[in-house]
Amino acid sequence: MPYYRSVGEVPRKRHTQFRQPDGTLYTEELMGQEGFSADSSLLYHRHAPTAIVAAEAYDPPAVTRVPNLPLKPRHLRTHQLDHTGADPILGRRYLLANDDVRIAYVSADRPSPLFRDATGDHCLYLESGSLRVESPFGALDAVAGDYVIIPTSTIHRLVPTGDEPARLLAIEAAGHVGPPKRYLSVRGQFLEHSPYCERDVRGPDGPLLVGGSDVEVLVRHRRGWTRYVYAHHPFDVVGWDGHLYPWAFSIHDFEPITGRIHQPPPVHQTFQGPNFVICSFVPRKVDYHPDAIPVPYNHHNVDSDEMLFYTGGNYEARRGSGIGQGSISLHPSGFTHGPQPGAAERSIGVDFFDELAVMVDTFRPLDLCDAADECEDPAYAWTWARPAAPPAG
């Protein structure tokens, strides 16, 4: 994250004596990426962040994966997976996955346990409801439309805070997620042509200073899951500074790039991850050439599987497909996709699209997970030949 923050109390010089009111030293934790060669933060704990009193193997949530075979475009109705009693981490229902990224959905109404994913960053997109992200860095409040990036190995707890459940799309990377490199200067500042910048980014703004002992933390690591019990609560940090921390960015702050004729999906790119990108389709003025066709042309992005989560407005190109709020479409490599029948003609002369969608394009094929099977609309693959009735409501 290219944005230095300093929160709470930190000493003037790093790695020097910094004492608590009782005279004992605060204990430092440097959390950094790529072996001291990339972004890091330096945290000051009241108690040693190394002190564990128990460790046992933990059965991870089952994630089954089957290939997209026969190869078909897919339509998943995520809201069919809603049920009460789910937490935002262990309640995730996995839909699509490859070795670079796992994509899950959950409608959560209770707090998660403390969790650390040591295998990669998480990018959460909040479709509805509200959520508090607690970590040693402090609390970060998210509302509908927010992306939240949680760096690898950040111990965190997700707490739904509103009257309605928090509906989340969770994009779990096997690596780091951040702004597209082409939008950053060599020193990490957002450039003028970036669709968002530092002012749009939010981070934790005060320490949580939670007390307590014998605290359970579930850890997903490269060889499985382990349940730790820490001697002291890991959110005992009095201050920290650096470039690495959970941060939020609202899709409503993404400034769309538009043109006289149709702009390709890279203009919508919001984040990059290992072998995948995340894009935001937001309400925008559309193509203004007098002869423009605002919906996309048929296309085959031969190196990518394309997943689109429809999270607001009306997605003009998909009218007649059965797709509605909370739908996910998967258009895999090997299949040419495009607008539904009639959409091109209908879009001519339209000057504004009221649509909100999150896209994940992966460079390796996405397998289907068990929850995809539970909520798939089997008619979708044929809707370019046999349009479906509009969704109810």
Instruction: Report how far apart the first and last C-alpha atoms of the chain are (Å, whole number).
Output: 40
Interface positions, 356-385, toward Fe ion (CB under 5 A): none
Stretch that binds Fe ion, among 76-84, 125-133, 182-190, 298-306 (CB under 5 A): 298-306
Query: DSSP letters of 13-59?
Result: STTS--B-TTSPBPEEEEEESTTTTS-EEEEEESS-TT-EEEEEEEP
CB of 306 to Fe ion, least distance (A): 5
Tell me whether residue 14 or residue 300 sits nearer to Fe ion (CB atom): 300
Interface positions, 302-331, toward Fe ion (CB under 5 A): 306
Distance of CA 361 to the CA centre of its chain: 13
Tell me whether residue 306 or residue 316 sits nearer to Fe ion (CB atom): 306
Tell me whether residue 39 or residue 306 sits nearer to Fe ion (CB atom): 306
Interface positions, 160-199, toward Fe ion (CB under 5 A): none
Binding mask 11-30 for Fe ion (x = CB under 5 A): --------------------
Tell me whether residue 109 or residue 306 sits nearer to Fe ion (CB atom): 306
Tell me whether residue 287 or residue 306 sits nearer to Fe ion (CB atom): 306
DSSP H helical segments within the chain, as ranges? 343-347, 370-375
Stretch that binds Fe ion, among 11-19, 49-57, 152-160, 300-308 (CB under 5 A): 300-308
The answer to whether the beta carbons of residues 256 and 268 sit under 8 Å apart is yes
User: DSSP 3-state assignment of 267?
Assistant: helix
The answer to whether the beta carbons of residues 131 and 166 sit under 8 Å apart is yes
Amino acid at 64: T
Query: DSSP letters of 147-161?
Result: EEEE-TT--BEEEE-
Q: Tell me which residue has its CB nearest to Fe ion.
A: 306
113 sits in the region (left: phi over 0; alpha: psi -120 to 50; else beta) called: beta
Tell me whether residue 55 or residue 261 sits nearer to Fe ion (CB atom): 261
Tell me whether residue 134 or residue 306 sits nearer to Fe ion (CB atom): 306
CB of 235 to Fe ion, least distance (A): 41
Task: Count the site residues for Fe ion by CB under 5 A.
Answer: 1
CB of 334 to Fe ion, least distance (A): 13
CB of 357 to Fe ion, least distance (A): 11
CB of 270 to Fe ion, least distance (A): 16
CB of 296 to Fe ion, least distance (A): 6
CB of 75 to Fe ion, least distance (A): 14
Q: Around 228, how many Cα atoms within 13 Å sit in the side-chain half-sphere?
A: 21
Please report, for residues 24, 306, 307, 309, the alpha-carbon distance to residue 75 in angstroms, rounded to integers and kept in the order given. Answer: 58, 12, 10, 10
Question: Residue numbers of the site for Fe ion (CB under 5 A)?
Answer: 306
